[in-house]
Amino acid sequence: MARTRIYGVSTHLYHGQRLSREHLLEIGAQGFESVELFATRTHFDYHSQTSIADLGGWLSEARLALHAVHAPIGESFANGRWGPALSIASPDPEARRLALDEAERALQIARRLPYAVLVVHLGLPKTSQSVPGENSRDAARRSVETLARLAEPLGVTLAVELIPNELSRPASLVHFVEKLADTARLGICLDFGHAHIGGDLVDAIETVSEHLITTHVHDNRGRTDDHLLPFDGTIDWPAALTAVQKVGYDGVLLFEVGGQGPTRATLQRLREVRGRMEKMFTL
């Protein structure tokens, strides 16, 4: 009997806008079962209990489950530009405290709206402007342990995301989960696009498989983080999905795509992508 897979969509699709009821209805109308909330205050005010209550109503109306919340990585996002970065791995105590406070606020959504996973970044992505020492492994460990203690009574598990920096490569994340962080409420979020930029996606899937608890599914051409729809970039999807099946991952496949034209059309294409993936899983 074929396994029933769950597919979801990240509100990253609407990241440049204030999240609304209509956005969630669009997602639900295309047959998706779950969402990940991208917690940036210009997109969704997770400080506001009124906003959280509204979100609960919208999810119910759209028949969507809140699978995950993406912890804040920037203070704002507008006109295609990020505001000041938030890093729980910052070696600067004040900067780390600010990032940790915002992550805790996003975690507390679970008091009103239960969800399974809080996705966190260990530091900032590596770029040509990166500053040596800006991503502290010890600061990341202390932050994750703090969040995990707060997450436990809420029934939330933390997922450290594979991103392009030294702390967050596949083997580094496995080491962090197994050897460094003193908590059992910790797994890995496999970001397909980031893994593709970093090298061998299939190898990344196999490396993180024992700790894989959620995903970000999108495509690119191997150089920049474009958040394209699957099959629009250069990822070898038959090989990637075979690896997913081989390691026995049966959690949510969460599309984290960017806005490329009207969102309704993007979601219609994602529905077609889902069907194409399902056929590959049954081969």
Is 1 a member of any domain? Answer: no
- What's the structural domain count of the chain? 1
In CATH, what number is assigned to the domain containing residue 187? Answer: 3.20.20.150
Neighbours of 20 (CB within 10 A): 13
Residue 136 placed within a domain: yes
Q: In 3D, which of 3, 4, 5, 14 has the Cα closest to residue 36?
A: 14
- In-domain check, residue 89: yes
What is the rounded distance in angstroms from the CA atom of residue 281 to the CA atom of residue 203?
Answer: 19
Identify the three-state secondary structure at position 77: strand
Question: Residue 175: inside a domain, yes or no?
Answer: yes
Contact 261, 228 (CB under 8 A): no
CA 156/CA 147 separation, integer angstroms? 10
Domain contains 249: yes
Per-residue pLDDT of the chain (283 residues; tens, 9 = 90+): 456 799 999 999 999 999 999 999 999 999 999 999 999 999 999 999 999 999 999 999 999 999 999 999 999 999 889 999 999 999 999 999 999 999 999 999 999 999 999 999 999 998 756 787 899 999 999 999 999 999 999 999 999 999 999 999 999 999 999 999 999 999 999 999 999 999 999 999 999 999 999 999 999 999 999 999 999 999 999 999 999 999 999 999 999 999 778 999 999 999 999 999 999 998 7
Decide if 231 contacts 269 (C-beta within 8 A): no
Q: Provide the domain limits for residue 137.
A: 7-281
Cα–Cα distances in angstroms (integers) from residue 146 to residues 56, 140, 156, 165, in the given order:
27, 10, 13, 22
Residue at 2 is within a domain: no
Say if 191 falls within a structural domain.
Answer: yes
Distance CA 183, CA 159 (A): 12
- State the greatest distance between any 2 C-alpha atoms of the chain, in Å, as a whole number: 53
